[in-house]
Amino acid sequence: MRNILLLTTSAVVLTWSTGAFAQAAPAPSNSSNAGVEEVVVTAERRTVSLQKTNLAATVLTGQDLANKGIMTVDDLQFIAPDVTVDNFGQGIDFDIRGIGKGEHNSQTTPGVITYRDGVATFPGYFTEEPYYDIGSVEVLRGSQGTFAGQNAIGGAVFVTTVNPVIGGGYDGYIQAQVGNYTDFGLQGAANIPIDDTLAARVAFYGETRDSFYSITNPSGGKYTGNPGDAHWGAGRISLLWQPTSSLTVLFKTDFDLLDNGAYPADPYTDRFKYVPGTTTPNPFYTGLFNIHANAPQQGQDEFVRTSMKVDYVFGGGYTLQSISAFQYGNTAYKADLYGPVNPAGYPPPNYAGIVSTDFETFADSVDETIWSEEVNIISPDTGFFTWIVGGYAQSDLYDFLSPASRNFVIGAPPGSAGTEYTLSGTNPETDLSAFAQGSFNLPAGFQIQLGGRYSSTTTENRVGVFQYGFYIPDFQSASSTNFSYKAALNWNVNDENLLYAFLATGFKPGGLNVPVGFGQPAPFTPETVIDYEAGWKSSFLDGHVHTQIDGFYDSFKDFQVIIGYPTDPIFGFELNDPNPTKLYGVEAEGQAAFGALSFDGGFGLMHSSLGTFYANDPRLGFGPVCDPKTGPAVPVYCVNLGGHPQTYAPNFTMNLGAQYVFNLGDGDTLTPRVNFAHESHQWATLFDDEATGDKLAPRNILNAQIAWNRSDWTVTLYGTNLTDDQYVSALNSGLDFAGPPRQYGIRLTKTF
């Protein structure tokens, strides 16, 4: 629906992006180790064993990514508890424990932030950057307000690429891939020793694939636009300089051009075999990958990121660390919102109250530029008291390019002054923060941790809106401050067991609404959370089994939601739920290794409940004015959403994996691997109305591969989504965006 698009200054429709894209460079698979390998986390600016920290986290090495078929951020939802990724293409709704970016605009900061090589990346967009030449991925669950800041109210992801090695040789890898959908890929990396103080690493990635979709014009003719053929290219240059034992400088630059061609989607009404609530066959029922469209489509991201990390170690082991970064990107999108209604070219049956046209479209082209600087002082890792203090500054500028016809445009038809909506201008945002954490290492294995972060944020609209044939300037600003903190008690019972409990808080800053009709909704305020958490990490059977179990209870104040504007619900605006939103659950993960045989798995149980507030569902028509705080409750037209679950927050998630290494002699191995993941159903809007497509069916994903390794060669036969589970990844603007279908192929890897 158009109201979902007309949200705030920065509203950029997020559509689903597909692809069996790059994965980490695999090393020869050999699981002859005696037990589970120790993994570490670096999110708190130190290198710490995962089993010795109170972070609820899933940590994967580059080899783990290859074994599990993790190719892009979308796949993380199938290997970690309570993680969902609902992809709208131009960006994603990345939720951990039901919290993330559920509102589709740049004014609403995400609740899960991704760091690349220590740099906080674009908040919500350009997130499909492929995983290639990866060292590790850390998925942290729960509020990470102290170290990750305002965008980590639900969690954070830390991606670390492989660094150059000083004193190493000319080594690396090259990998070629061929698969169905005419999929061809090539990636590789090489370490280049320059002298005894300087080394470089060069990595590249490229892939091309035909569309998953069959697209026809509503009239039945040939569709002339891009059907979603994907062409991805990326590269990375890294330099590591260590002139003395005290000084280390790491420089990295990434380039990405990710052309998905289009993000095709059909109205949700085409999903139903029968008209909801009846036994009447739906004459417009089609598969998720059979699309009708009559307007050109586009989906392309291009960006560059440059970072420099400097570490200087003083006498006594104290480290001064600086991380500087520049990021620039452009995201361009065109969609046929209601052209794909059905082959006959007229709206679908009005059983859900939908009235649409055959010519409503959307387009945008948005630049984003980020400058950031982080400075830390880190104490040595040992002693009674260890600590870190730091500061962070970020400037983020969204530029909705002029003329407006190039960027945020909704037209029915395009160019019609009475129906076209356009937006252009800039939206600058800033974040200034200071943070610190200290750990008191007490006798008998006890540790007390105290940390906090003070943040000051600003956002400003410098835009112009054209609607109903009138130009409306919009110049406004908002600011917010917050102090987030964490207090933890850890008990290392012995070398094999850690018990912990903590209280942590976090926040998402407030933002601005654009004019609605000729009115101006008030800004929305920050959203805050209090996270209560306790857990147990253990190692069994002489290190052959590692486990993590945790429980959490989150209370949200001023939860940010987008609903229809009370006096004109076809337009959306953002406000805060005036009553507390609750979310709680339990998670468990485990890994086991017994020589050649290894297992891993996890599950999450979760429940969420919105605080009481009222909203009109404009998809079902308009009635009396519905006040968000007082209602009154009127069936259909003014719904009390209290007790409804949060969007994209499945009650149950689980994943299982197993592999066995067969030794064939002469150093050859054959390693079959299978992975299965399940996510229970999700609600795509707060109204929980099955008839309007809100209920997204469960996802059941089965991946498998078999790898033959001989010396420095590895041949891998792979398959993803082997059962061809056709599931709706996300619902937006009344359109279904599909998750990727079954894919399979072969990879050939040569290490050197």
- Predicted confidence (pLDDT) per residue in 40-64, tens digit: 989 889 998 999 999 999 999 888 8
Q: Which residue(s) pair with 670 in the sheet?
A: 662, 708
Residue 148 banded pLDDT, cuts 50, 70, 90? confident
Given a cut of 70, whether residue 649 has pLDDT beyond it is yes
Going by C-alpha positions, the residue among 712, 718, 637, 607 that lies closest to residue 669 is 712
Three-state secondary structure readout of 75-119: HHHHCCCCEEEEECCCEEEEEECCECCCCCCCCCCCCEEEEECCE
**Residue located via tokens 């870190």:** 388
Q: What share of the chain is helix, strand, coil (3-state, %, to 5)?
A: 5, 55, 40
Model pTM? 0.89
Query: Which sign does the torsion angle of CA 633, 636, 639, 641 carry?
Result: positive
Given a cut of 60, whether residue 20 has pLDDT beyond it is no
CA 309/CA 311 separation, integer angstroms: 7
SS3 242: coil
User: How many beta carbons lie within 10 A of that of residue 716, not counting itself?
Assistant: 23
* CB crowding 555-589: b at 16 or more within 10 Å, else e: bbbbbbbbbbbbebbebbbbbbbebebbbbbebbb
Average pLDDT for residues 22-33, to the nearest whole number? 43
Q: Which of 344-358, 459-473, 695-709 is modeled with the greatest confidence?
A: 695-709
pLDDT digits (tens, 9 = 90+) for 250-267: 999 999 999 999 888 888
Average pLDDT for residues 512-516, to the nearest whole number? 82
- Residues 6 or more apart from 735 whose CB is under 8 A from it? 265, 266, 267, 268, 337, 340
Measured in Å, how far apart are the chain's first and last C-alpha atoms?
53
Going by C-alpha positions, the residue among 253, 211, 250 that lies closest to residue 230 is 211
- Give residue 27's pLDDT: 43
Q: Domain containing 202 — which CATH number? A: 2.40.170.20
- Give residue 259's pLDDT: 93
Residue 101 banded pLDDT, cuts 50, 70, 90? low
Going by C-alpha positions, the residue among 266, 270, 286, 294 that lies closest to residue 361 is 294
Query: Do strands 668-679 and 652-660 pair parallel, antiparallel, or not at all (unpaired)?
Result: antiparallel
Least confident interval from 110-119, 316-325, 612-621:
612-621
Task: Give the residue numbers spanning the domain of 260.
Answer: 2-751
Given a cut of 90, whether residue 671 has pLDDT beyond it is yes
- Give residue 277's pLDDT: 77
Q: What is the dihedral of CA 644, 561, 568, 684, to 10 degrees?
A: -60
Residue 405 banded pLDDT, cuts 50, 70, 90? low
- Give residue 13's pLDDT: 28
Residue 430, Cβ density class (10 Å: 0-12 exposed, 13-18 middle, ≥19 buried): middle
Least confident interval from 33-37, 157-161, 700-704:
33-37
- Give residue 574's pLDDT: 86
- Give residue 586's pLDDT: 97
CA 73/CA 93 separation, integer angstroms: 11
**Residue located via tokens 């290490």:** 751
CA 133/CA 51 separation, integer angstroms: 25
User: How many beta carbons lie within 10 A of that of residue 270, not counting itself?
Assistant: 23
CA 588/CA 652 separation, integer angstroms: 12
**Residue located via tokens 């089994």:** 545
Given a cut of 60, whether residue 343 has pLDDT beyond it is no
- Split into its structural domains, the chain has a count of 1
- Residues 6 or more apart from 203 whose CB is under 8 A from it? 132, 133, 161, 162, 187, 188, 189, 190, 235, 236, 238
Residue 353 banded pLDDT, cuts 50, 70, 90? very low
- Residues 6 or more apart from 163 whose CB is under 8 A from it? 135, 201, 238, 240, 250
Residue 124 banded pLDDT, cuts 50, 70, 90? low
CA 112/CA 482 separation, integer angstroms: 18
* 65 backbone dihedrals φ, ψ, rounded to 5°: -60, -45
The H-or-E segment that residue 62 falls in is helix 62-68
User: How many beta carbons lie within 10 A of that of residue 390, not counting itself?
Assistant: 20
Residue 26 banded pLDDT, cuts 50, 70, 90? very low
Higher-pLDDT residue of 404, 10: 404
Given a cut of 70, whether residue 345 has pLDDT beyond it is no
Average pLDDT for residues 391-418, to the nearest whole number? 72
Given a cut of 80, whether residue 15 has pLDDT beyond it is no
Least confident interval from 5-14, 355-364, 709-718:
5-14
Three-state secondary structure readout of 630-691: CECCECCCEEECCCCCCCCCCCEEEEEEEEECEEEECCEEEEEEEEEEEECCEECCCCCCHH
